[in-house]
């Protein structure tokens, strides 16, 4: 299956709109007074959850591409990755503005002393260079090899993101565990492929050197 360029354009537009759904949901709930007794907490959690969701979706592109043979999926990855940053930014702004109301003293203290906030903040900072270098011009400027190396940090970001969630819950680790397992599968797939590739190269080398 290979969509034609116009088909791909439509697909991209549809995906772009679909990715705004979680934000639209917040707007809708806010409008009909459905954010619950603690709206700020609700908004923060919702945006955090969707940051993680988009992170996993983005990381699922490569395995899906290999399993299905739909190599055009790669054309959707940048947009998904930028949505990770978009929701992470909103999540961070919610914390800064709605939750702390720019109380810098307490924000600095939080980041320094609360491990889950340290983790979340680190993950957010690490996302910035990826968002900045996401366009074709930056890819060209950095060169494919360096660009790929830089963008591999997304694996670390994902792990830190799940840890951030894990450390925040009071006791029920069901959901963080679910994210950890899904991330494990997505990273495991890559590790397995890498190992196979190494083995293949090794065999080829042995064969060549006879």
Partner 1 sequence: MLIKRPDDILPSEITPRELFERRREFIKAAGAFALAAGLPPLALAREAFPSLQKGAHSTLEPPNSLRDITTYNNFVEFGFGGKSQPAERAGAMRTHPWTVSIEGLVHKPRTLAIEDILKIAPLEERIYRLRCVEGWSMVIPWVGFPLAALIKQVEPLGSAKYVEFITQTEPAAMPGLRLPYIDFPYTEGLRLDEALHPLTIMAVGLYGDVLPNQNGAPLRLVVPWKYGFKSGKSIVKIRFTDKPPRTSWNIAQPDEYGFYANVNPEVSHPRWSQEKERRIGEFFKRKTLPFNGYADLVAPLYAGMDLRKNY
**Where do contacts with partner 1 occur on this chain (CB under 8 A)?**
36-38, 40-41, 98, 100-101, 103, 106, 109-110, 113-116, 167-168, 170-172, 174-175
Quote the least distance from Cβ 20 to partner 1, whole Å: 24
Nearer to partner 1, 34 or 188 (CB): 34
Quote the least distance from Cβ 171 to partner 1, whole Å: 4
Quote the least distance from Cβ 114 to partner 1, whole Å: 6
Nearer to partner 1, 32 or 145 (CB): 32
Q: For every residue of the chain, which 3-state class applies, written as one string?
A: CCCCHHHHHHHHHHHHHHCCHHHHHHHHHHHCCCCCCCHHHHHHHHHHHHHHHHHHHHHHHHHHHHHHCCHHHHHHHHHHHHHHHHHHHHHHHHHHHHHCCCCHHHHHHHHHHCHHHHHHHHHHHHHHHHHHCCCHHHHHHHCHHHHHHHHCHHHHHHHHHHHHHHHHCCCCCHHHHHHHHHHHHHHHHHHHHHHHHHHHHHHHHHHHHC
Nearer to partner 1, 174 or 209 (CB): 174
Quote the least distance from Cβ 103 to partner 1, whole Å: 8
Token digits of residue 70: 């739909």
Quote the least distance from Cβ 83 to partner 1, whole Å: 25
Nearer to partner 1, 48 or 81 (CB): 48
Nearer to partner 1, 35 or 187 (CB): 35
């Amino acid at each position: 299956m290979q969509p034609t360029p116009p088909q791909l354009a439509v697909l991209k537009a549809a995906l772009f709109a679909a990715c705004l759904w979680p934000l639209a949901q917040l707007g809708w709930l806010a409008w009909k007074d459905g954010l619950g007794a603690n709206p700020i907490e609700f908004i923060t959690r919702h945006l955090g959850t969707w940051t993680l969701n988009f992170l996993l979706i983005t990381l699922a592109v490569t395995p899906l591409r290999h399993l299905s043979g739909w190599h055009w999926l790669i054309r959707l990855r940048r947009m998904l990755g930028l949505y990770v940053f978009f929701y992470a930014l909103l999540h961070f702004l919610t914390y800064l503005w709605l939750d702390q109301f720019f109380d810098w003293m307490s924000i600095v203290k939080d980041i320094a002393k609360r491990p889950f906030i340290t983790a979340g903040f680190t993950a957010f900072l690490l996302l910035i260079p990826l968002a900045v270098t996401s366009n074709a011009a930056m890819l060209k400027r950095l060169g494919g090899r360096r660009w790929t190396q830089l963008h591999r940090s997304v694996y670390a970001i994902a792990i830190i993101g799940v840890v951030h969630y894990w450390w925040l819950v009071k006791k029920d680790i069901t959901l963080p565990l679910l994210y950890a397992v899904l991330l494990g599968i997505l990273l495991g797939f890559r590790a397995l492929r890498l190992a196979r590739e190494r083995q293949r190269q090794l065999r080829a080398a042995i064969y060549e050197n006879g």
